[in-house]
């Protein structure tokens, strides 16, 4: 089994004056999560159909792929916008969010 690193790692660190802060730019979470969704959907679109492998003696001009959801479908667009709204709410509630840029 291939182990993949986490999408992001968040650590709380202390800065001057004993104030706690994060070691990463939190605003990048939105980009990381939406890119992960895009990559997952793109990977789904490249899964070949089983028929070409089962029916080996037939000539296939190209390997057909399974039908998969597209990036511009309303469900995906809605999911990405919900992620953006949730992360914006989190950033609004995060103390010292001016340091997170």
Residue 46 lies in a domain: yes
70 is a domain residue? yes
Q: What is the mean pLDDT of residues 79-84?
A: 89
Total structural domains in the chain? 1
Does residue 91 fall inside a structural domain?
yes
Domain with 64, as residue range(s), is 25-100
pLDDT at 101 over 60: no
Q: Is residue 49 in a domain?
A: yes
Specify the pLDDT at position 94. Answer: 67
Q: What digits encode the pLDDT tens for the residues 51-60?
A: 777 787 777 7
Residue 3: inside a domain, yes or no? Answer: no
- Rounded Cα distance between 42 and 49, Å, is 15
Q: Quick check: is 14 in a domain? A: no
Rounded to an integer, the average pLDDT of 64-82 is 88
- Residue 82 has a pLDDT of 92
pLDDT digits (tens, 9 = 90+) for 13-60: 887 877 887 777 767 777 888 888 899 999 988 888 887 777 877 777
H or E element in which residue 12 lies: strand 12-15
Give residue 18's region: left, alpha or beta (phi > 0; psi -120 to 50): left
- Per-residue pLDDT of 85-96, as tens digits, reads 988 888 777 665
| Residue 66 forms part of a structural domain | yes
In terms of residues, how long is the chain?
A: 101
């Amino acid at each position: 089994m291939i182990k993949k690193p986490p999408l992001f790692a968040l650590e709380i660190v202390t800065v001057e004056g004993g104030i706690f802060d994060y070691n990463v730019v939190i605003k990048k979470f939105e980009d990381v999560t939406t890119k992960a969704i895009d990559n997952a959907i793109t990977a789904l679109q490249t899964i070949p159909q089983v028929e070409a492998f089962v029916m080996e003696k037939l000539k296939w001009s190209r390997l057909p792929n399974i039908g998969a959801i597209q990036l511009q479908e309303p469900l995906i667009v809605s999911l990405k916008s919900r992620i953006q709204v949730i992360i914006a709410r989190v950033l609004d509630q995060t103390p010292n969010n001016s340091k997170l840029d």
